[in-house]
Structure 1
Amino acid sequence: MRFKPIPPGEMNAAQRAVHDEAVAGKRGSAPAPLLAWLHSPDMARHAGRLGAFLRFDTSLGAQLSELAILVTARHWSAAYEWYAHKKLALQAGLAPDIIEAINRRHVPDLDDPKAQIVYEVSEALHESRVLPEALYARARALLGERGLVELIGLLGYYTLVSMTLNAYEVGLPEGEVSDLAP
């Protein structure tokens, strides 16, 4: 890892406030990217709050959110993000064969129209950086305006997370091995 996590006892007041807010929130801990962002407490505070909302409180629900997060982690080959969210996706009920297809960069077989649109929007924005009109219209019809805005926000936020984890070479917990396909 390219940054040294700041032990809570060595944090300044601003860093400690952000750290403690994350620990007291729905996550129950300070996630790995937040530990890097603490070197800029204002950024950490804003990003942490946005992340908590996007992770827990959107209209998408856990399964669709985790699907989008896995597509993002796979796009960025963010091993830590994949490791953390694969477990959460399974807990949210995402089928192992869907997860494995995303891992192998194959199109997953999705029966749920909302899951299909989340996958297609995620792929389109990550791969071509645009949302074609027909896809936009289908996404808006299936997810609603709020859901589409939240999906785009989720993809952007987890791009920030993935970039942070990759830039700082955040590895997996000791003893864990990445199953992220090459």
Structure 2
Amino acid sequence: MTTAQQAAAQAVIDGPRGSLYGPFVPLLRSPELMSCAQRLGEYLRYRSAIGTRLSELAILVTARAWDQPVEWAIHAPIAAEAGIRPDVIDAIAQRRAPSGLAADEQAVYDFCTELQRDKRVSDASYAAALSQFGEHGVTDLTGLNGYYALLAMVMNVAQTPAPASSAPPLP
């Protein structure tokens, strides 16, 4: 590795992730991009204005939209630990709308589904998200979608294999 790659890799290892895995392996080919991306991801994943439970829901919707097995394998178990019900996780995996969501979960699901599918969000979904999370939260929710779409693209291009996981693979 170059000096820049070594520094970028060490920054990921020394951060809350604790190791270099998933998207950070192919991103290492562009150490400055990896460094910028991992700092953005560290904020979105660990300190987002919508909290871990809802961030993980957004990540799952994005992983499913991009058919991304690494993101799914990593985040489905985290989402379950954070309080996303197993039937909700399964419905997203099966490309079905989950039922019985809490209002905040429904706002995230609708916002993310529309953004990933339609490349925009309806006024109704925006208003629901704004009511639940405020402008800061809506901005972070949008950022979560963009960041995890970036990682999905990187791993899909690199054909990154999914790690072992307690979550069933995407169908």
TM-score category by the smaller chain? Answer: over 0.9
Q: Which residue of 2 aligns with 1:173?
A: 163
Q: Deviations over 1:112-149 (max 9, x none)?
A: 11111000000000111111122212211111100000
Matched, 1:153 2:143: yes
Matched, 1:61 2:61: no
Q: Structure 2 CA distance, aligned partners of 1:77 and 1:168? A: 14
| Counterparts of residues 97-136 of structure 1 (less than 5 Å) | 97-136=87-126
Residue pair 1:172, 1:178 contacting (<8 A) in 2 also: no
Corresponding residue to 2:130 among 136, 140, 164? 140
* Superposition deviation, residue 179 in structure 1: 2.2
Q: Which residue of 2 aligns with 1:163?
A: 153
Residue pair 2:68, 2:152 contacting (<8 A) in 1 also: yes
Q: In angstroms, what is the RMSD of aligned CA positions? A: 1.6
What TM-score do you get using the length of structure 1 for normalisation?
0.89
Q: Which residue of 1 aligns with 2:33?
A: 43
Percentage of identical aligned residues:
39
In our comparison, the structure showing a higher alpha carbon Rg is 1
- Structure 2 unaligned regions, length at least 5: none
Residue pair 1:79, 1:178 contacting (<8 A) in 2 also: no
Q: Which residue of 2 aligns with 1:8?
A: none
Letter in 2 for 1:105: R
Q: Structure 2 CA distance, aligned partners of 1:175 and 1:59? A: 27
Task: Give runs of ≥4 in structure 1 deviating > 4 Å.
Answer: 174-178
Corresponding residue to 1:25 among 15, 18, 42? 15
What TM-score do you get using the length of structure 2 for normalisation?
0.94
- Structure 1 unaligned regions, length at least 5: 1-10
